[in-house]
């Protein structure tokens, strides 16, 4: 299957009309229908100008397999998951999340609004590759060909987010919402206003090419300044497809995904909502998070990087709360996937009920241990590189003891080796990380 796009950690992603062409979208729609079954598909997209092009390909792919298609338009990724909640409905979201506008991607949801397992993804990849290579069996004809159909729209998803806290839950709060010129641009304001908040919105003027450009969860600097300038209580930044949340407190300081999860875990434990007294996070979560949860007697389940692995663990628990430091927060008792808007509503509801500020709650929830992350570019994929680096990693861990940790892993999307070091002393963290980077480079050259 040389030259055929492969699934990364979250669907297909690449430069639109190069790696990700209309032909690719047609084949992926057909493959998803063949493997996942179902009689209906819902398609959403973010604000990239290439979205409509890929949407047309997906429509053709699904329809050629006899699947009817409902178009949701520009919506957050979790809206697609919600709309795919039926047992016969496949979901497809066209977005490259926080990537620049030139890129795009396609994420799939199985009927029920669930992310794909590794096994199902592998089946779709095989079928997708065969279709791209021209191995196409005859599809349905006549009345059995799929068609565009009307649906219920997204009001049900909006209602579910607002109703998760109530229409007056956020009354008295002044919030700044940064929509990243992306999927949340039209829906964030009405949701938070219906929940009772006074809202100032930035990053909500998409033009097809400005998504994530200096705004959103990966560029929160403008949000930090705006919160201070308008005297808001807090700010919430979403990424391009609004499945990720980074918060900012009233002083303009960032509240990352670890702090959001820690704050919600403590609040939910107190209210009895934290299922099995457990929160699920990835290996990237800060050491300070783990210390805070241990102090609060909350169990922590650790997964590999990627919100779909967090979801698998949540479903297996079953547990109600999980996510990633990067801002994917999954409220599994309400939703089937990460939802930045829902997480923001839940976070600010916890703040409102506490009679404290976001800054006070975030500081009380956990203390971040200095974390250093550096990438080493690889000339080629080398699965054995981490094993070869093993003795150096062990020596670094022994040197730091209980005050630090090391995590070395290959990137899931690029030819990079990611080296992360945490230590209570940031000087030590930087020194150890630099030493491991130097050693890695030496191994590459040897």
Catalytic sites, residue numbers: 97
Q: Is 353 helix (H, G, I), strand (E, B) or coil?
A: helix
Residue 77 to residue 240: CA distance in whole angstroms: 9
Distances (CA, A) of 27 to 39, 128, 338: 17, 6, 27
Residue 295 burial by Cβ neighbours in a 10 Å radius (0-12, 13-18, 19+): exposed
Segments of 334-387 assigned E as strands: 371-377
- Residue 7's Cβ-side half-sphere holds a number of Cα atoms within 13 Å equal to 24
Both tokens assigned to 49: 């100008």
Both tokens assigned to 289: 């998070």
Both tokens assigned to 254: 């960032």
Residue 284 to residue 290: CA distance in whole angstroms: 11
Segments of 180-274 assigned E as strands: 198-202, 234-238, 245-249, 254-255
Q: Which residues pair with 321 in a beta bridge?
A: 279, 331
Both tokens assigned to 377: 């570019």
Distances (CA, A) of 91 to 67, 82, 108, 279: 12, 9, 6, 27
């Amino acid at each position: 299957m040389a030259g055929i796009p492969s699934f990364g950690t979250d669907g297909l992603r690449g430069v639109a009309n190069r790696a990700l062409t209309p032909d690719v979208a047609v084949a992926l729609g057909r493959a998803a229908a063949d493997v996942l079954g179902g009689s209906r598909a819902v398609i959403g997209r973010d604000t990239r100008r290439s979205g409509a092009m890929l949407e047309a390909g997906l429509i053709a792919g699904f329809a050629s397999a006899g699947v009817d298609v409902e178009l949701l338009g520009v919506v957050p990724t979790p809206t697609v998951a919600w709309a795919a909640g039926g047992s016969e409905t496949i979901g497809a979201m066209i977005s490259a999340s926080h990537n620049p506008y030139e890129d795009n991607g396609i994420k799939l949801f199985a009927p029920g609004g669930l992310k794909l397992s590794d096994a199902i993804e592998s089946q779709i990849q095989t079928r997708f590759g065969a279709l791209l290579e021209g191995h196409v069996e005859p599809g349905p004809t006549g009345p059995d060909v799929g068609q565009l159909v009307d649906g219920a729209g997204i009001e049900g998803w909006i209602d579910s987010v607002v109703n998760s806290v109530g229409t007056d839950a956020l009354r008295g709060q002044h919030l700044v919402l940064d929509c990243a010129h992306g999927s949340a641009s039209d829906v964030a304001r009405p949701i938070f206003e219906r929940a009772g908040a006074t809202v100032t919105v930035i990053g909500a003027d998409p033009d097809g090419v400005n998504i994530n450009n200096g705004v959103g969860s990966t560029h929160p600097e403008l949000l930090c300044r705006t919160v201070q300038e308008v005297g808001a209580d807090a700010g919430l930044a979403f990424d391009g497809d609004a499945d990720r949340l980074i918060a900012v407190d009233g002083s303009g300081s960032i509240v990352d995904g670890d702090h959001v999860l820690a704050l919600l875990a403590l609040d939910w434990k107190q209210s009895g909502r934290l299922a099995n007294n457990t929160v699920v996070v990835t290996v990237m979560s800060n050491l300070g998070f783990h210390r805070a949860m241990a102090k609060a007697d909350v169990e922590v389940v650790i997964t590999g990087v990627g919100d779909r692995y967090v979801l698998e663990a949540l479903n297996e628990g079953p547990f109600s709360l999980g996510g990633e430091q990067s801002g994917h927060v999954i409220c599994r008792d309400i939703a089937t996937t990460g939802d930045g808007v829902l997480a923001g509503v839940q976070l600010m509801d916890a703040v409102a009920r506490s009679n404290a500020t976001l800054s006070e709650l975030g500081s009380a929830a956990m203390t971040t241990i200095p974390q250093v992350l550096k990438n080493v570019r690889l000339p080629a994929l080398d699965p054995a590189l981490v094993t070869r680096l093993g003795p150096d990693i062990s020596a670094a861990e022994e040197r730091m003891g209980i005050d630090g940790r090391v995590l070395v892993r290959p990137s899931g999307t690029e030819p990079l080796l990611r080296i992360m070091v945490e230590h209570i002393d940031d000087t030590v963290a930087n020194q150890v990380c630099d030493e491991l980077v130097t050693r890695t480079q030496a191994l590459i050259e040897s």
